Amino acid sequence: ELLQPPETGDGDAITVMVSEKPARPDRDGEASPVLSPKSHGSPMSRTVSAGQEAAVHALLGKEGDVAQYADAAFDRVPDQVNLDVVIAAPCVHIPVKDLGSVTMNLGSIKLFTPERCSMKAVRMEVALEDTMLMVATKREEFNVISPLPIDIKLNHNETEDALMADVSVSIGDLTLIAAPQAVQVLAKLPDVFAELAPETTETTTETTAAQASTDVPSDQLDRKKLVSEVAGKSEAVQAATQRAKELTEKRLKVNLMANLGKLEVAVLDLIQPVLTLQSRILDNGIQVSHDSLMTGLDMNTSVNLSKLALVAYARNPSSHEWEPLLEPFHIGASLQLESVKEGSDALSTKLSCNAHNPLLLNVRAPSLYRLACLGPIFQASLESGEFTEKTRYRAVNLSGQPLRLDFICPSGTLQKDLLPDGSEVSLEEEILVYGASDISVSLEGDDSVASDPLSIETCGCTVVPGSLCVAQIWMPEPGCRMLLLAPPLRLHNTCDVPLELKLAASYEDQSAKFSCDAEHVGEAPPVVKMHSNFTPLDAAAKEKGTYLVMPNEIFAVPESAIENKNGLRADVSFRPFVEGHEFCSPFSFSSKVESDSLDVLCLRSLEEPELPRILGAKGNRGYMPRQDEKEKHDDEVDTKTRAKDVSTRTQKKGICACGGKSGMVTDPEDLLEDEESRAVSSLSCNIKHGVKAGHDLQITRLTVRPLLSLVNAVPEMDMTMQYRASSKALTTLLDRRPWKEIQLQSMVGVNVYDLPSAANGVELRGRLGDDMETPFSSSVLVRASALHNSAEMLELDFKQTASGAAAGIVAQPLGAGRVRMSCPRLFTHRLDDLKQDEEVQLFSSGAPLPKISEFTMLPNNCESKKCELLVRRWVDGTLREMKHNLTMPAAFDSFDVKTPWGTGYYCMQTEDLAASGMLGASCKVSSLRPRLVVTNASDLDLELQTPDGNVVVLNAQQSKPYHWHISSSNKGAASFHLRPAGHSDVSWSAAIPCSEQAAGSTPLLLSANGDSPSAAPLVWTAEIAPSFGAFSITLKKGSVFMASNKAQTANVNMELYSVASQKATTTGAATVVKPGEEAPIGWADPYTLRQFGVKVVIGGEEHFIQDLGRRAEIQIKGLKVMLSVSRVGESTILSLDDVYSPVAALLETGERTDDLSITSDQASTVEVDVQLCQLGVSLVDDEPTPRELLFIHVGDIQLGYKQNVTEDKEEINFRVGKLQGICQLPERVDGSMLEHKRQHKAGVLRKELPAVILANHGEKDANFLDINILREATSSQDLVLPAANVLMDKLDVTVDHDWLSPLLDWLERAIPQDAIDLGITWDDMKAKAGRSIAVNYEPPSVPAVACVESLKLSEINLTVWCRLPLSTLDFLPGPVRTILRVVSVSSHFTLNAAQIKLPEKKLPEYRGPVENLGVSIGMDYAASLLKIVMSLLGKSSLLNAGAIPLAMGGTVVSMVTDGVGSTIRGGAGLLGHLAMDEDYNQQQKMKREQKEITGAIDGFKEAGKSLATGLDGALDIFRKPVQGARQDGAKGLAVGCGTGIAGTVVKPVVGVANAGSDIITGISAAATFDSAAKRRRRERCRCRGPRMLYGKSAVMRKWSDSDSQLLLQLGSFAEGVQEIVPLASSAFHRYALLLCSDKLLVVKLRATQKMSERHSTQVDLAGKASTRSLAGKGHHHRMDRIFSELLHPIEEVQRISSSASGLSQTESTVAENVRGVLYEEIKRVEFVDVDDALVLEDQQGNSHSIPIVLESDAKEALQVLLEQAAKGRPNWRDFMHGWRPEEEVHETAIRPKQKDEDVVKMTSVSI
């Protein structure tokens, strides 16, 4: 309609009304074509056909040339506009075959102007609504992009000097969903579009080619002539030109205001959201201001983001609760772009980021593990999508009776019957199709009662009414849910043979199945193949009434065999289902058992009349033998005597069975006396308790395994193992008991059943192979504790032959009875392929080491003891030998050897094998290889001139190792020359050095001899890649520096001369680059000066570029071309380009006067400043009990970055002010807790457990870390660092087993093993072993090269406290571990304030790979550490036994004086209460906490202060009556007289007592040996207290300082707290209301300094505080008076509750400040607004008023909760949603929806 002739109207105004309708036909009835400037119908087209001319004529309404066309178009441009455009939302459906469909809704678009406006003052609004992207699978729908509203307002105005625009952008809340199912469908869209694309036929191709041949090439057109013609004839073009000139003289001013809603990104597994990241821009949104000329000069642009809020939540797999992964984090940013100088195009860019609060990350092991498992799931969705074939929802019924499942769906209840056949049943139809959200389980029958509903997404359990069956939903693997229906007592068979199980009561229905594959419930079979010498019997041999439990099956004990009396118990008996085995005696399998392991023996012969025995682990409690079996075995013994004897033996030896009933219980040591006469099979049973399904129902699993399992993790090497039970009575030398022997095949395991006992451990020894003549190794003892839990590696020496040397084998106890045998070090070679009789062999002490194919097994001490290398090769028809002694390096080493066939230069490289291919074992392979390999990557043969002057030919595409002689003049590096083979007219290249300094890609320029040009290429590149002591040199044609001539308009050539400096003379022929061509650039001698300069002659004018590695631009005005240097990928391009354009031609009015031949002298700069006040990482542990394990605090982080863009220089400054590593376990203390814990400050025999385990000293405000790095431009991809300085503060480090062991366990549970499986596979290593390095050689890529001119590393000064069991030091070298075991006087290795100082390092100038630089620095520090290992022993517990008596003397004095001081201090505290002055008591308490007495002098000073305070109290008789009368009149006068008299008498006495205590404390401190380091560590306070976990599920919330202090002060009383409600507070005390799961508590807390000064980080995404309680400070006096009368003492509350237990001494002290009441005792709950109190009435009619101030909605939520709790049905989830709405994650928008086929879809376009 714009192109139609204007109808009647005012002026030139045009009103446009656009709706969704077909294109309007023109006058001829045909649709009007849409023309673009690039289309063939455009007036600017080079060639116009007759039909196109007619169309243009019809369009414009008149005939004419191009200029007339332009004038006609200009006449149609309106002066005013009024728009109202509405485009309905097009919806596109794209089906994806076999997967689903994608629905894209582009959203409805509204474009309108509020009123008619001039083109120079436009007001416009654009509204985009309902933009969304939805993916539908076969059963689910995912709103990948939720409907998103966007509103844009534009206000444009043009003045005489500026163009101004105000833009307002408003974007609603945006939700993005990433689910594997949706990603899989979206990943297939490219394939769908490829199928929709039309096929290309030969006819179409020929037609296109014909048209292309007739078209006039664009590069042959005279564009300038065309523009000139149009400009000369058209008035419209002249007017447009004038208009363009006016605009260029005006300024452009833009103001943008963007308000964005909440952005939420949700990551889903196959079922539900597991991670959500939320962000919101707060305050004023994003503000952008721009002011510049239209040409872009004189720019001033600012972008301000005042506050961006971020928060991330991860779902806890156990509790199903959302927990903060990233706590609310607010950060602001500003960006400023400003021209450096008026008229200059150089810009100054400044970016500043400043965090408003700490960045806190919380990591929980189960959550991290699940997030790590999402990676493979999403990767599978992008590849084959096999994960979709797995059943996500399934159920197994092992209850022995049919059950009915009730699915709660949106449309009603759906039922499904489940048979007790143990098969896996899919529940996906009920859940995915019908949308079931919960499941209830009941017995079959109309009158059966359904269980409590279970959410299909939570991991929970419930009891089926009328039975003992437990319905449990758990997550066997990420993205799957399993509903297991089974009784709570279960047995897991991990043996390789079936178990025949006999119960006390058999089940009548033999069709029911009580076992299923353990893999169904997440118990995957072992990775290693396990077997034994047993052959299972046929199923027909099973006795009647017994059950068969196959390997790796879970068996549920039937209800009929379970006794439910004081816990669940079942009498079981089993045997291996193999020939000749009897059942073990019945024993009780109980949920009340206290032990976790026992050993069971099954007789293998019927000759013994004695009962099979059960071996009990020591330390167990609560088991008694079965009386009936005992009487049958020994009916002649008196019952009382027998009972007394059994009791005596149980108490004496700690022997027990399994849960109340047992066969004959025997001490394991008794069986070793007559071991020969017995034939038994031993099984180990481990009992593990799971979750509780009811008050008395706890899921208990009995895992049955072999007593011992041996695994051979040595590839392709069988071994023979011998074993026997260890004996306490006999030493190893006197023990003549026989050994039992088994054969271990490679990479398999053997289960051992004939071991009678492992109570004292197991002795092992072995040999390689099966040669009977080979002696066995010396034996090692695997202790009993190591069999149950993983432990240190044990070293053995295995021989393969009698005359051979022994290889180092390690036995690694893995727990659960498994011991893995592996070889940690192997050796191989990559020398030339060996001919007949040639060999490479390794010897130790003159004997050959065992070999595996092309690998040699190394001894344990190969890193310190030299091995002998023997190489035999044919030389001139004679078999010659080369011998060399070498040690195996930890990383790499290089050496040279003189051999009969010449000097050889070799390298030894050590690589790690992937642990997954070694059954989890660690193994390193050291490979001997030639040091240098040269590869010819070109298609031409090359001649190489060696350092000896010889010429060798390296064929095309060939790799070959060389051992070139290194002369002394070459400074340790060989060099060679190259030229194309057969081209004697080409000179040799410059010398190519084989050194790390020459690493990288270097272009070489060869010169042609004579005047005629050579046919051979003259530019070659040598790529030198050093890698761990070896060198790979790849020779290629061409260069990484290229010259490209793109100046086709100027039509000039480029003449290049490679020179080192501007004054250097140009020698040799120039490289000429014609327009449209490219040419490589090389240098004649690049390795000497490392200068890559060029002289470029263009049109007779010479230009010099000093370094092609730096970006540069040179504009040449006469030719209107520009010479530039830039990097494209891995190449550096020297390019000559035209600067002419048609637009510039239109704007030109004459000759330009500006100088275009030089660049601006102003440099563009970039500055970045990032400041973060604190980075904190919290590690939360779940096992054995939920707790915070560690907190890492990194404070005052600053990152500064400066870049000179023009000169390509950078400076980086990184600073960390403070570092603390804090162990948050309950028993850890810090400086703030010393007074309350009453710890002695010095005593070397006292065990210290400091909370701060890592901290820098921070003396004189020193930063923990300061890094300054300067980087300059390079001539290649090198990293040039003129200076690098690293400064680190002194550190205090505490290492003890109490936090190290839980941390290692946490890492093992949090990180999947597949994620850390690094190294080369065994198959890949085997394919290379023993073969020439040149076979299938692939040159390594050129490494990142660092050129460091100055590197300074500060001194590393560590003060170390260490206390580790000797069994955990297996990471130390073998000799060091041996020394420690010999000289140790205890079972622990202890360091006490040991100083570790690594000297300052100033590295010389270095050029080489970055990786090698880091390795060399690390190896240097490692060598320094080894030098001080022995010096540390002098400060350890191993060699300072002589210092202990002296320390004990000081400790005795200290203990005596400290005890006396404590007594006096306690007495003074009691007397202080008699003064009846609470303020005085609190002041005295705070003074005692703040006292620092480090010696006798300090003691006397503090004693004087105490006496002065006491004397001042004598004046209370005058002071207190006056104060009382002023406050309360006559009543106050009477009270003041009483307190005054008491204070006058008591306070002086208290002052004298405190003075005596101070003096004695000073004497105590002076009598102890206390260094500054110990004092510093002891008095250091942690920067953050421990995290509190909430509720029974130990839910993690945002950290709060007040909650942390509550946890520190209350200890165990704070466990299970659901919510904390702050009450009154004062300067001395704070009160809080604790809502527990079963009771309500009111607690009294000390108001510490931290609680008063710190601010909680609890803010939500919007920056609002989350506390729901008001200050309430006005009630603190009232709380002080009534606290002792509130509710009931905590002792009484615990006595009434079922979990009553005695209080410890520490708990008794805390209990004075805790009052409470059980919810079941509450009768009435009411809020009294007049008194601001919560009134609780108990069942006895007592009323308790608790002062509290809350908001109205909080009052209502709390009252509802307490009323529900009083009735026994508290709804904590609803309460938390109302109480903490800022922490709630709304899942409605991020959850997958069930696909509804009945919904009528909107009108859409289907593809």
What is the predicted pLDDT for the residue at 1438? 40
Cα R_g (the chain), whole angstroms: 43
21 three-state secondary structure: coil
Alpha carbons 570 and 560: distance in angstroms, whole number: 9
Alpha carbons 1777 and 477: distance in angstroms, whole number: 29
What is the predicted pLDDT for the residue at 168? 93
**pLDDT averaged per 10 residues in sequence order, the chain, 1807 residues:** 39 42 39 37 43 58 62 75 83 88 85 81 82 86 86 88 91 90 89 76 45 41 56 70 80 92 90 90 90 86 93 88 93 93 85 94 91 84 64 90 91 90 89 87 88 85 91 85 92 93 73 86 83 86 89 92 85 90 85 74 57 36 38 41 36 34 41 52 85 79 92 94 82 73 93 86 92 90 85 87 92 91 94 84 93 92 88 88 89 86 88 90 93 93 90 93 72 82 88 85 84 73 88 92 87 85 66 90 82 85 82 81 83 84 47 40 85 94 89 95 82 94 90 56 53 91 91 67 89 90 88 77 92 89 81 88 73 57 62 83 77 72 64 46 37 46 55 60 67 70 76 74 76 75 75 76 63 83 91 89 89 88 83 90 80 43 49 64 86 71 67 90 87 87 88 87 89 82 72 54 36
What is the predicted pLDDT for the residue at 1259? 87
1008 three-state secondary structure: strand
Alpha carbons 1608 and 1251: distance in angstroms, whole number: 12
User: Is the distance from CB of 1607 to CB of 1616 less than 8 angstroms?
Assistant: no
847 three-state secondary structure: strand
Residues 61, 67, 72, 76: is their CA dihedral positive or negative?
A: positive
User: Is the distance from CB of 766 to CB of 789 less than 8 angstroms?
Assistant: no
Residue 417 φ/ψ, nearest 5 degrees:
-90, 140
Q: Are strands 1078-1080 and 14-18 parallel, antiparallel or unpaired?
A: unpaired
User: Is the distance from CB of 240 to CB of 152 less than 8 angstroms?
Assistant: no
Residues 1118, 1120, 1125, 1131: is their CA dihedral positive or negative?
A: negative
Q: Which residues pair with 489 in a beta bridge?
A: 700
Distance of CA 1013 to the CA centre of its chain: 61
Alpha carbons 1523 and 1525: distance in angstroms, whole number: 6
What is the predicted pLDDT for the residue at 1445? 38
Strands (E), 56-209: 80-87, 91-96, 100-105, 108-112, 117-118, 121-137, 140-158, 162-171, 174-178
Alpha carbons 954 and 944: distance in angstroms, whole number: 7
Residue 418: burial class (beta carbons within 10 Å; 0-12, 13-18, 19+): buried
> Which one-letter amino acid corresponds to residue 1343?
P
**How many Cα atoms are found within 13 Å in the side-chain-facing hemisphere of 298?**
13
659-694 burial code (b ≥16 CB/10 A, e <16): bbbbbbbbbbbebbeebeebebbbbbbbbeebeebe
Among candidate residues 680, 652, 651, 656, the one with its CA nearest the CA of residue 666: 656
User: Is the distance from CB of 939 to CB of 917 less than 8 angstroms?
Assistant: no
Q: Which residues contact 1714 (CB under 8 A, 6 or more apart)?
A: 1610, 1613, 1641, 1642, 1643, 1644, 1690
Residue 1609 φ/ψ, nearest 5 degrees:
-85, -35
What is the predicted pLDDT for the residue at 618? 34
What is the predicted pLDDT for the residue at 665? 40
